[in-house]
Amino acid sequence: MVISLSVVLLVGIILAFIFRAGKIKAGPMLVAMLFGFLLASTDASPDIQEFLDNVAEGISDIEF
């Protein structure tokens, strides 16, 4: 639950900066879509959440 809340806040902040800059292209559009799916309770939401959890786990496993 902590990871999902952090991801929602992070993506929300990124989305706010994108809208403020007034530039919406393919990459920012993807961020906006992910933000929408995280907030929505659709059938696709658990799959997207699982993907984001796997990405977060993969990033945390990287050793520098």
pLDDT tens-digit series, residues 18-60? 878 877 776 777 787 787 777 776 777 788 778 888 988 888 8
3-state DSSP of the chain:
CHHHHHHHHHHHHHHHHHHHHCCCCHHHHHHHHHHHHHHCCCCCHHHHHHHHHHHHHHHHCCCC
Q: Which is higher by pLDDT, 4 or 13?
A: 13
Judged against a pLDDT cut of 80, whether residue 2 lies above it is answered with no
CA distance 15 to 28: 7
> What pLDDT, on a 0 to 100 scale, did the predictor assign at position 3?
59
Q: pTM value?
A: 0.48
Angle at 17 between CA 13 and CA 21, to 5 degrees: 170
Domain locations in the chain?
Answer: 2-60
**Confidence class of residue 4 from pLDDT cuts 50, 70 and 90?**
low
